[in-house]
Amino acid sequence: MHEETLLDRLGRELIESWQVVAAGNGFLVTTDWRLPNDELIEIHVRNVGDRKDLFVVTDGGEVVNVLFSHGFDLTGDRGAMRMAARSAERYGVKIVDGQMVKGAGEEDLHRAVRKVLEAVKEVSCMLWHHLDPPDQVH
């Protein structure tokens, strides 16, 4: 098998089950990646105002809500918020008003969706550490 064939097949495999649906002034991207509570990760893409070339990519606040529902209050725990913000920043993503957010232009929108998805997955992993006993080795 050639490298190009593998890359092509990997690319198709990674997004084969995804759905992109027009929603209002943007899109809803439903992935087959899952949060720790087994819900599918959804990424919201919205135009910035009337601009058709600028976008805001966000998780819609889902990670903060999932963590909160399991006793991990990022808004009330500065240490947890710092940890989540550092994890998100590795992907160029910010946590703003309880949402994971990244801005993008048309040319880098696909990359922003991937970066938000990766940040969502990484920050949601905080839940695993919160639920595991402290003396358990991973």
137 assigned to some structural domain: no
Domain count, the chain: 1
138 within domain boundaries: no
Contact 83, 62 (CB under 8 A): no
In one-letter notation, the amino acid at residue 34 is: R
* 24 found inside a domain: yes
Measured CA distances, 93 to 22, 96, 107, 122 (Å):
23, 9, 17, 12
CB 121 within 8 A of CB 31: no
In a domain, 10, yes or no: yes
pLDDT at residue 138, rounded to an integer:
45
Range of the domain at 23: 3-131
Q: What is the pTM of this model?
A: 0.87
Phi-psi region of 4 (alpha: psi -120 to 50; beta: other; left: phi over 0): alpha
In a domain, 59, yes or no: yes
pLDDT in tens, the chain (138 residues): 899 999 999 988 988 899 999 998 899 999 999 998 889 999 999 999 888 889 999 999 999 999 888 888 888 888 889 989 999 999 999 999 999 999 999 999 999 999 999 999 999 988 766 544 445 444
Question: Can you tell me the distance from the alpha carbon of 32 to that of 111, in angstroms, rounded to the nearest whole number?
Answer: 17
Under 8 Å between Cβ of 116 and 41? no
pLDDT the model gives residue 129? 61
- Domain CATH for 71: 3.30.1460
> Is residue 136 included in any domain, yes or no?
no
